[in-house]
Amino acid sequence: MNAGAALDPGPAQAGPVVSDPLEFPDGIVAVDTHYVRPRLAASHLILHGGRAAFVDTGTALAVPRLLAALAARGLTPEAVDWVWLTHVHLDHAGGAGTLLAALPNARVAVHPRGAPHLEDPARLVAATRQVYGEAVYARLYGEVRPVPAARITLTGDGERLALAGREFEFLHTPGHALHHQAIVDHAARVVFAGDTFGVSYREFDVAGREFILPATTPTQFDPEQLEASVRRVLALAPRAVFLMHYSRVTDVARLGADLIASVRRYVELARAHAGDPAALRAAVFDWHSAGLDAHGYAGDAARRHALLDEDVALNVQGLVSWLGRAR
């Protein structure tokens, strides 16, 4: 999922919706950013030794939710040392400037390629407005404020930063975006993977088993890079991976294999349907719908379309963009 998330959630919200912060071991809290709909995007709050960090922020409209989650756990904004960004797509980092303005002691850590877009988000904002129009942009993103350069820390591959003595490692994981990084919590044996490890909506869980699909959105999708990045996460053998869309998954080895299989199938489908995006969208949807059948998911076609169509459309845009570059 990316800046072009589903604009009309349709019937996907049938049944109860749990969107309160979710508590996980090791001081990790998933805060629903309420981007588009509940349970689509989560910022993660990490608490340790009386200090705090956020992994991804959501949009500026999510900032009150993040601050409320912090206050509910007895911490003030002064206790936040870090805002760690997996990448700067607006659904992940659009609120970074607004959040940082409320956190007097925090710094933002980002891959060097992403830093210029934090300092001057005008290009990202203009591109998003052009695609979705002013009304939709305002409803989804609010104001995207710049981050002062003096409060940005650049994180290269293998960089390590600490939160109250708890060490986190930053790994360059391109494929979804060239500036993408995953954040490894070695003490907890978990990885905050942004969009590198795909999208797993809790609505698709069956008897506790998760379903996953890649995030191949434009404009920097590269299948070889993405597969290598997924394998890099798998090589860490984490107990869990935390995704923006949506939070914790634990059957990591199986999900990683499914992601790699889907990326390879995407490439086959893109080549088979070159020049026909509509046919490619149908083929990608059918691939995932068949996967949901095998997964034991009982939702009907309308519900599947409500939950998958915008991801499929974005993924196809990324495939078309990649195929144009690959020729």
What HEC string does 221-279 produce? Answer: CCHHHHHHHHHHHHHCCCCEEEECCCEEECCHHHHHHHHHHHHHHHHHHHHHCCCCHHH
Q: Would you tell me which CATH number, out of the four given (3.60.15.10, 2.40.10.410, 3.30.390.10, 1.10.10.10), belongs to the domain 17-110+112-154?
A: 3.60.15.10
Q: Which of 270, 231, 111 is nearest to 178 (CA)?
A: 111
Measured CA to CA, the distance from residue 44 to residue 26 in angstroms comes to 12
Measured CA to CA, the distance from residue 93 to residue 244 in angstroms comes to 11
> How is residue 56 written in tokens?
């991804």
Q: Is 298 exposed, middle or buried (0-12, 13-18, 19+ CB in 10 A)?
A: exposed
Instruction: Residue count of the chain, please give it.
Output: 327
Q: What percent of the chain has pLDDT over 90?
A: 87
> How is residue 193 written in tokens?
């993977």
DSSP letter at 7?
A: S
| pLDDT value for 219 | 87
For the chain, 327 residues long, give each residue's pLDDT as a single digit of tens.
544 433 433 333 333 444 689 999 999 999 999 999 999 999 999 999 999 999 999 999 999 999 999 999 999 999 999 999 999 999 999 999 999 999 999 999 999 999 999 999 999 888 778 767 888 888 999 999 999 999 999 999 999 999 999 999 999 999 999 999 999 999 999 999 999 999 999 999 999 999 999 999 988 999 999 999 999 999 999 999 999 999 999 999 999 999 999 999 999 999 999 999 999 999 999 999 999 999 999 999 999 999 999 999 999 999 999 999 987
DSSP letter at 175?
A: S
Contacts with 254 (C-beta within 8 Å, 6 or more apart), sequence order: none
Q: What is the mean pLDDT of the chain?
A: 93
> What is the CA 168 to chain-centroid distance, rounded?
18
Which fold does the domain 166-327 belong to in CATH?
Metallo-beta-lactamase; Chain A (3.60.15)
For the stretch 122-181, pLDDT in tens is 998 887 787 678 888 889 999 999 999 999 999 999 999 999 999 999 999 999 999 999
- Answer for the pair 146, 120: CB distance below 8 angstroms, yes or no: yes
- Answer for the pair 216, 176: CB distance below 8 angstroms, yes or no: yes
In the chain, CATH 3.60.15.10 covers 17-110+112-154, 166-327
